Amino acid sequence: MRARFRTVVLTGATSGIGEATALRLAGVPNRLILLGGESEEDVARTLQRIRRAGAARVNYFAADFARLAEVADAAARVRGLATSIDLLINVGSSAHRIEHFHFEDVDLEHDYSPVSAYARAKLAMVTWSSLLAGEEAGTGIQVVALCPGLNDTPLSAAMTGGIGGPPSNGAARVLYAASAAVPSGSYLEDDQVVAPSSEVVDTANRSRLTALFQERLASFAGHPTRATA
């Protein structure tokens, strides 16, 4: 990596691409804060490998990201450790192209499938990255979304039967995007800036997603979420 980061926060860090990325990052920042869904005891061996991979001080917080209260609590614990974050990694996916927004059923209470849930989540993530880039324009904060490619991970195995390259390939895509000289708001596939799904740039979708986030996150954020379309 060309850039030097003092504090890095990485979500989904205990398996698959997240674990491979953490192993690559262990020698980069002063502090590496990892988030995952498992208890610290359950991922003790993984954390041990990451700590042995580099000199970064590694902290781990468990949170169920399906429960906003746990996410807010994890965010508070991160703030208690770090006065600033130099790099925050939440991986996107080209799977966002295969789905559409369904604002009438955002929780997939009807016609649920793991692939649809995953793709819709990635669609929301890529769209929000674009919105956040607009919100932070002029502040020096860069926002980049990317697809790490098809990798053989526990998640992909559960959804597709385990196809693709090793998670280290996905980690390389993530780390490239972390310091790539591309405009804020870019979306990358195979390390190239490409246009995202038309759903991402649709003005109505962006407005409705912003309103949804404001509705669900305002009580945790302490102030209304801001975004621009």
Per-residue pLDDT tens over the stretch 2-20: 557 899 999 989 988 999 9
DSSP for residue 165? B
- Write down the pLDDT at residue 90: 87
In this structure, which topology does domain 1-90 adopt according to CATH? Rossmann fold (3.40.50)
- Write down the pLDDT at residue 218: 85
How far apart, in whole angstroms, are the C-alpha atoms of residue 226 and residue 15? 32
Per-residue confidence at 227, pLDDT binned at 50, 70, 90? very low
How far apart, in whole angstroms, are the C-alpha atoms of residue 19 and residue 75? 20
- Write down the pLDDT at residue 91: 82
Which residue's structure tokens are 């302490």? 222
Is 159 or 67 the better-scoring residue by pLDDT?
Answer: 67
> What are 10's two structure tokens?
């990485």
Which residue's structure tokens are 């669900």? 216
| CATH 3.40.50.720 domain residues, the chain | 1-90, 91-229
- Write down the pLDDT at residue 225: 41
Is residue 151 predicted with pLDDT exceeding 80? no
> What are 60's two structure tokens?
């781990």
- Write down the pLDDT at residue 154: 62
Average pLDDT over residues 115-121: 92
How far apart, in whole angstroms, are the C-alpha atoms of residue 228 and residue 7? 27
> What are 88's two structure tokens?
């925050």
- Note the CATH architecture for domain 91-229: 3-Layer(aba) Sandwich (3.40)
How far apart, in whole angstroms, are the C-alpha atoms of residue 212 and residue 100? 16
Identity of the amino acid at 212: L
Average pLDDT over residues 72-97: 92
What is the average pLDDT score of the chain? 89
Is residue 224 predicted with pLDDT exceeding 70? no
Is 35 or 149 the better-scoring residue by pLDDT?
Answer: 35
Average pLDDT over residues 43-70: 95
Please count the residues of the chain: 229
Is residue 185 predicted with pLDDT exceeding 50? yes
Ramachandran area for residue 62 (φ above 0: left; ψ -120 to 50: alpha; else beta): beta
Cβ contacts of residue 49 below 8 Å, gap of 6+? Answer: 23
In the chain, % of residues over pLDDT 70: 89
- Write down the pLDDT at residue 222: 58
- Write down the pLDDT at residue 66: 86
- Write down the pLDDT at residue 206: 97
